Amino acid sequence: MKGGRTTVAEKILTNEAQHAVILHSLQNENLQEFRKNFLDLHPYDQASFFKEMEIEERAQVFEYLAPNEIAKMFENLQMDNWEYQTLFAKLLPDYVAETLANMSVDDAVDILNVLDKEQVESYLAIMDQPTTARVKALMHYEESTAGSIMTVDYISLSAEQKVETAMEILKREAPNAETIYYVYVVNEQKQLVGVVSLRSLIVSDNQMLIKEIMNDRIYSVSVSEDQEEVARKMQDYDFLALPVVDFQKRLLGIITIDDIVDVMQEEASEDYSKFAAVSNMDFVDQHPFSAAKKRLPWLIILLFLGMFTASLIGRFEKTLDQVAILAVFIPLIAGMAGNTGTQALAVAVRGIATGNIGKESSWKLIGREAGTGLITGTICGLLVMMVVYIWKSDFFLGMLVGISILGTLIVATIAGAIIPLIMHKFKIDPAVASGPFITTINDIISILIYFGMATMFMSYLTN
């Protein structure tokens, strides 16, 4: 420790030492010591530590902690679907149901949605009627929509209430609310008419009416709106929470910033998976057969595209027979096409995901990428032309490879930009135009350009 500051290494050492103490108390069945040290951890640290435990040690944790104590940890726990199913199958239904009932409704629903239908029904049957009703209200919303990530744990007020009354309601309901920084105002039909901040309530006179201090300029999202669009709005406007309404503008719930952070992480992970031509990100503990099942469809598609590329090269067999040296530069040209196409693809997909690319800016993006391809192609083409000329002492061969790279880079960058834009127009996720896919497409384009030009200028190459 230097100057009163704890270094990262010291923090890691402290956490490891603390975990060792907790694990030791668990292994020695020291109930009081385990409870004291484990419950002193932040719920996120509890969840991280829990994931590292062996199955037998996890079972002991459930013996030593009450459902209401472990609920917060479960709100921070991220596990694969089969892990939740396996874990809950070994616990008493009453214990699981009480744990879920003590969690935030939206977090509880996230877990219930990955369980077997029989498990879900058994847990809901044990919960009290109000909790069951709140859980079921969220479970029927379509996945990846605003309704699926919202919470019903919010506080609403009437426009005709006084500030004094509102503060009493806040004090009474705050412990069960997801957030109290924004309080939403509804009319008799439960329609959203305004929003008031906690700050405004605190500084206003107790006898003032809510309608006098509320803001009637409300930003809300539809219950069926895509979660990615919701995340974009919260990011653009720096909201801590966003109300969710139905088609009649009735307030159904709110989405808080912690849920949006999870959505952004989930979307980024999904896009990265698609870039790698995987249906979704494989977990380390996933069974090989399950992982292979998810990867095979893309691999089979790419396999046939690769076979088409091979057959394309076969069509230029005569050209290769006459000038065998052409084969040396196939990996170079195909690799350059794949790399530059993937770069353009990443820019386009990122622009679409962030909403920065609209109808007008689409052509601007294509033009910019074409210009980028022209500049990079010219520079790379000139460089490779000089290298080939010095290496093989053949000016026409160097010119052929250089011009091929120029044409390939221009076409590859345009293809990398235009393919995701077309897919987005037809309501297909542009991230599906993944790196391996665009690379294979550009392989075909580069082969056609390279061998097409080689065939045209064969007389110069064979002299």
Per the prediction, the chain carries an average pLDDT of: 83
Tokens of 316: 């230029």
pLDDT tens-digit readout, 227-266: 888 888 888 888 888 999 999 999 999 998 888 887 777 6
pLDDT category, 406, cuts 50, 70, 90?
A: very high
Q: Residue 4: its pLDDT value, please?
A: 46
Element (H, E) at 5: none
Q: What is the pLDDT of residue 232?
A: 84
Does 2 score more than 50 pLDDT? no
Q: Supply 418's token pair.
A: 């235009």
The two three-digit tokens of residue 164, written as one number:
């004094």
CA distance 106 to 115: 15
Angle between helical axes of 129-139 and 117-126 (0-180°, round to 10): 150
**pLDDT the model gives residue 202:** 93
Q: How far apart, in Å, do the first and last CA atoms of the chain sit?
A: 75
**What ranges make up the beta strands (E) of 262-348?**
none
Q: CA-to-CA distance for 87 and 397, rounded, in angstroms?
A: 65
What is the predicted pLDDT for the residue at 291?
63
Q: How many whole angstroms separate alpha carbon 354 and alpha carbon 227?
A: 13
CA 168, CA 144: separation in Å to the nearest integer? 36
281: which DSSP letter?
A: P
Reply yes or no on whether the pLDDT at 15 is more than 80. Answer: no
Of 356 and 392, the one with more pLDDT: 392
pLDDT at 244: 95
DSSP 8-state class, residue 204: S
Q: State both tokens at 259.
A: 């849920």
For the residues 171-190, what does the mean pLDDT come to? 90
**What is the average pLDDT across 270-280?**
54
pLDDT of residue 275: 53
452 or 161, higher pLDDT: 161
Tokens 């809901």 correspond to 124
CA separation for the pair 47, 78 (Å, rounded):
8
Looking at residues 100-127, what average pLDDT do you find?
Answer: 89
Give 413-453 as a DSSP string. HHHHHHHHHHHHHTT--GGGS-HHHHHHHHHHHHHHHHHHH
Reported pTM: 0.61
Q: How far apart, in whole angstroms, are the C-alpha atoms of residue 398 and residue 439?
A: 24
DSSP H or E stretch at residue 250: none
Helix axes 67-75, 93-102, angle to 10 degrees: 60
Residue with tokens 């064969």: 458
What is the phi/psi pair of residue 216, to 5°?
A: -90, 5
Q: Cβ distance 440 to 302 under 8 Å?
A: yes
Provide, for the chain, the percentages of residues in helix, strand and coil under a 3-state DSSP scheme, each rounded to the nearest 5.
Answer: 70, 10, 20
pLDDT at 200 over 90: yes
Backbone φ and ψ for 210, nearest 5 degrees, come out as -60, -35
Burial class (CB in 10 A: 0-12, 13-18, 19+), 447: buried
Q: Which of 135, 107, 144, 354 is nearest to 263 (CA)?
A: 144
Structure tokens at 283: 């977990």
323 falls in which pLDDT band (50, 70, 90)? confident
**Strand ordering across the sheet containing 251-256:** 221-222, 241-245, 251-256
In the block, which residue shows the tokens 């329609």? Answer: 191
* Rounded percentage of the chain residues whose pLDDT exceeds 90: 28
Contact 408, 456 (CB under 8 A): no
Residue 275 and residue 269 in contact, taking contact as beta carbons nearer than 8 Å? no
Give residue 229's pLDDT.
Answer: 85
pLDDT at res. 53: 87
Query: d(Cα 184, Cα 428) in Å, to the nearest integer?
Result: 36
Token pair for 92: 């008493």
Per-residue DSSP letter, 149: H
DSSP 3-state of 87: helix
The stretch 62-85 carries a mean pLDDT of: 88
Give the highest mean pLDDT range of 60-74, 250-264, 336-350. 60-74
Residue found by looking up tokens 């921070």 in the block: 76
Q: Of 247-251, 408-412, 424-428, where does mean pLDDT reach its minimum?
A: 424-428
Alpha helices in 67-128 (DSSP H): 67-75, 81-89, 93-102, 105-112, 117-126
Q: Does residue 176 contact residue 153 with C-beta atoms inside 8 Å?
A: yes
Tokens 């975990």 appear where? Answer: 19
Region 358-365: mean pLDDT is: 73
Distinct helix (H) and strand (E) counts, the chain: 23, 6
Work out the average pLDDT over 141-157.
89
Q: Are 123 and 229 in contact (CB under 8 A)?
A: no
pLDDT at 11 over 70: no
